[in-house]
Structure 1
């Protein structure tokens, strides 16, 4: 039986050279020896496997980032100029950040104060909120209430309601939403009626369609300049990303 040494295996380059290595050209005994040699080498040198996994993950991350940047470019108008989402921060900022948010999402709640601190301390970020309720009926009711408030009472009241909903600890139902409306001196009957209006349906449908086009299935998801952040990122990490975007 022919035994293929590790040195020979490395010399062959595992199909990376001009003369590609083809295991199908081996006899059965040679294949058995080859497999045994590979296994023995990896058992003796497990760090090689971890190194290979690291290279693969890095390559996949770069491919995902490139794909995400293409998605941002393709959907730029819907992301940054939809005409119905709340816009805050510095409206003339050099970077625009978009957040897809669900009021019942624990990580959205965790990110809320940190995002506010990022926007306020940086001073040069335009911030857009996208209502994206995906965690059940309470999420949907919360978003409908927030959107209805914006449509009836404007951006300032919407932001106050948004900040209250993202920290609200009780059950989201009609009674509690009505009390919440009254706490902001809103016409509760009008807001509750507007929640079922076609204009609210349109906002939610447009946001869902945009998320689908951009392969967004979780919250929070951020678009930060040309980049996408799929999930919660601590404040220091977001600051580093902002600095990186500005440096490009």
Structure 2
């Protein structure tokens, strides 16, 4: 870099207060300055890549900080809404919340990972948020799962949840009836509750909470106040838990 360009660029990048006043330049000076910048960037294109990397890191940090603030703001709705299934250790030191959809391929991929996490860590409190966003079959499955919880309780709900997470076919009233029959459930009673206003209210509350948290995809996890969007391998979840416990 030419010395006459290095100093102005350094000052401009170091502090807004030290930035050059381009308006004070003559047209000729401004054109020369811009030409020197262009030449430098063409000769050193890696600077652009470095700037993009720094920008992305700043954006990611800002997103993480915003996610943490939102999780803290809506902590009660996330962790203690009174209707979501709570598994693992109800008195665990860390609560993991999952927003999921039974038709979501990445949710199905995450299912054995989160199951392994809860099974291997006796201090995890695991909350499931039904968040059907992938069409009518997703809604139908969530309604059946929630209705099962209302009719038969948490254990039956978890059996249905597990089965639906591993289910690969189309979801219909008939397939759900067969699923319930296989699990020994009262499918007639469950089917009768699927359109219950309580079921509709639970889904509406989950959807409203997701909107407040700016969640638009599944799976989305919340580990205490740390939000993680998308699939997370078991090893990364364990690493995040270790970091939270070390704070």
Common fold: TM-score over 0.5: yes
Name 1:92's counterpart in structure 2. 91
**1:141 and 2:161 are equivalent in the alignment:** no
Correspondences of 1:46-195 after superposition (within 5 Å): 46-195=45-194
Give the aligned length. Answer: 246
Q: Distance in 1 between matches of 2:199 and 2:171?
A: 18
Q: CA deviation at 1:109?
A: 0.5
**Structure 2 residue ranges without an equivalent (≥5):** none
Partner of 1:205: 204
Aligned to 1:214: 213
Q: How far apart, in 1, do the equivalents of 2:19 and 2:92 lie?
A: 53
SS in 2 for 1:93: coil
Find the residue that maps to 1:21 and give its secondary structure: coil
Question: Contact 1:4–1:34 at 8 Å: present in 2 too?
Answer: no
Find the aligned partners of 2:224 and 2:18 in 1 and give their Cα distance.
44
Q: Unpaired runs of 5+ in structure 1?
A: none
Comparing 21-30 with 200-209, greater Cα deviation is found at 21-30
Deviations 1:9-58 (A, max 9, x none): 33442472644312222222322222222122122222222222222222
Normalized against structure 2, the TM-score is what?
0.94
Q: Distance in 2 between matches of 1:209 and 1:84?
A: 15
* Separation (CA, whole Å) in 1 of partners of 2:216 and 2:43: 41
CA shift at 1:118, angstroms? 1.1
Q: Distance in 1 between matches of 2:67 and 2:55?
A: 18
Q: How does 1:18-29 map to 2 (within 5 A)?
A: 18-29=17-28
Structure 1 position 39 matched with structure 2 position 38: yes
CA distance in 1, matches of 2:186, 2:16: 73
Task: Give me the whole-angstrom Cα distance separating, in 2, the residues matched to 1:7 and 1:66.
Answer: 34
- Asked if the contact 1:148/1:194 (under 8 Å) is kept, the reply is yes
Secondary structure of 2:99 counterpart: strand
Runs of 4+ in 1 over 4 A off after TM superposition: none
Q: Please, what TM-score do these two structures have when normalized by structure 1?
A: 0.94
Moved more, 53-62 or 7-16: 7-16
Judge conservation of contact 1:14–1:21 (CA < 8 Å) in 2.
Answer: no
SS of 2:103's equivalent?
coil
Farther-moved stretch of structure 1 (10-19 vs 53-62): 10-19
